[in-house]
Amino acid sequence: MKRPGLLIGLLGLLVLAGTAADIQLPVKTLNLDNGLQVILLPSHETPIIYSLVRYKVGSANETTGITGISHVLEHMMFKGTKEFQTLNYDMEVPIMEKQDEYFAEVRRLRQLKVLGRAPANADKQIETLLLKIKGLNVTQKILTIQNDVDVATFQVGFGRLSADTSFDRTHYFELFPANCLEAWAYFESSRMRDPVFREFHSERDVVLEERRQTNETQPEALLQELFLSTAFMAHPYHWDVIGWRSDLENLTRNDIHEYHRLYYAPNNAIVVLVGDFDPVAAQELVQKYFGRIPSQPISKPVPLTLEPPQRGERRASLRYSATPRLMVGYHRCAANHPDFPVFELMDALLARGRGSMLYKELIKSGLAVDFTTGIGEMKRFPGLFSISATAAEGVPLQKLEATILAEVERLKQQPVSQRTLDEAKSLLTGRLLRQLQDGESLAVVLAEGLDFSGSPMAFNRYLGRLQAVNPEDIQRVAREWLTQENRTVAWLEPPVPERSVQ
């Protein structure tokens, strides 16, 4: 649900002659004693509240062996607490402990297989243990109220309850009537403080199936995984958010508990409320429910492994029965770098709209059936500026790649006209203003600003930097970053038919 009038009610806005004035919002920020950061933005046009809880953790915080755990934990946060989703929590505990005992033996046998020291009947033993775990899942379901979190919140009027995980953060969204603010505070603080990871083993299987459907059988996702793992050698952006299958298969409930304890602490979270509430009352409720959650020592707030400078083009290829496609990418700066808006403008110049450079050269010319570009969700640390395209029938990938690289080269050699650059600036400014008109998107913008730049109003700094970019900046950044030495290319081509031996 969106409120078109939200921006009008909140902003004093002026955009004239390509210059954006500061956008003023009645934002109030709080810092609780336990480290929780809170952003409050009241607006009384409609009796609705949007909430966002942003945990500063994503796949970039993971390590080899637990890749994908951020996304799995997101799933598990909907499994209730000692009060939600259970008929008798005390009776559930021994069932979960028995499941974990069986799975510990599964992991031991799998480790022996990797080492080549497993007993001959290891596979049969693993299969039997996994069946026992599934049997206990059935027993536990008798003691649980399925989807109780969804049912309980919707019964009191919640319009949305969702979440998503990315490289740098995990988000939990709610949309609810203004008179449900205390119900929200109780529910959201409960799963921050005391979640129960029931049905863990079955939910892990759900994530594995999600990986199969979205990553292992989709050519775009297969190419993306290869591309990331080639572009990044050291930094944890090396793997996709969903993680590697073998790591997912061997995650334990204890891994989830420890990861939650480590990163889902109030001192690693931002709470945002946007909508129809009294700021004083909201502050009191946040203090009452979230203030009693103890902070945690976060020993690994950010990965210390840095990606070394790339010193030569990297290439990778994938054979898969699908239409040929490719990805080209360049390392770029992080989101809080002054040149980040330049990358967004280059993206707009290359790919946004039917008049863009790549649309003319790839789609109108018939070389590609589709293409995408972008800077993606890698923002806390230096990420990638990427271009992907699917070849039209009969078009070799060599020609497709050469055309893309020629347009990238044109950014370096031919100054873009001021008119074209202003159109790109207007496009990006308009996109941000549309985000500020939607309660959920506005909450994300505010939280991201506080997280990355120390201020929920950091988008004003972004707009200022955006408007200051000139044609020479486009050339400068393109020449510095969009180089052959800094480039990674990945191709997907159909398998080559094997020749029969005469």
User: pLDDT tens for residues 376-423?
Assistant: 899 999 999 999 999 999 999 999 999 999 999 999 999 999 999 999
User: pLDDT tens for residues 334-347?
Assistant: 999 999 999 999 99
- Is the per-residue pLDDT at 219 higher than 90? yes
Q: How far is CA 244 from CA 28, 54, 117, 240, in A?
A: 41, 24, 24, 8
Q: Which of the four pLDDT bands, split at 50, 70 and 90, describes residue 498?
A: confident
Q: Which of the four pLDDT bands, split at 50, 70 and 90, describes residue 501?
A: low
* Spatial separation of the C-alpha atoms in residues 496 and 492, rounded to whole Å: 12
pLDDT in the model for residue 16: 35
User: pLDDT tens for residues 442-467?
Assistant: 999 999 999 999 999 999 999 999 99
What are the chain's domains?
32-86+144-290 (3.30.830.10), 314-493 (3.30.830.10)
- Is the per-residue pLDDT at 215 higher than 90? yes
User: pLDDT tens for residues 239-256?
Assistant: 999 999 999 999 999 999
Q: For a pLDDT cut of 70, what percent of the chain falls above it?
A: 95
- 430-433, long-range: CB within 8 Å, 24+ apart, which pairs? 432/459, 432/462, 432/463, 433/7, 433/13
User: pLDDT tens for residues 20-66?
Assistant: 558 999 999 999 999 999 999 999 999 999 999 999 999 999 999 99
Q: Give the angle subtended at the CA of 399 by the CAs of 393 and 400, to the nearest 5°.
A: 70
Q: Which of the four pLDDT bands, split at 50, 70 and 90, describes residue 500?
A: low
Average pLDDT over residues 74-78: 96
Query: What residues contact 101, with CB distance under 8 A and at least 6 apart?
Result: none
Whole-structure pTM value: 0.94
Query: What residues contact 480, with CB distance under 8 A and at least 6 apart?
Result: none
Residue from 179, 194, 189 nearest 89 by CA: 194
Region of 174 (left: φ > 0; alpha: ψ -120 to 50; beta: rest) is beta
* Spatial separation of the C-alpha atoms in residues 83 and 103, rounded to whole Å: 26
- Is the per-residue pLDDT at 14 higher than 50? no
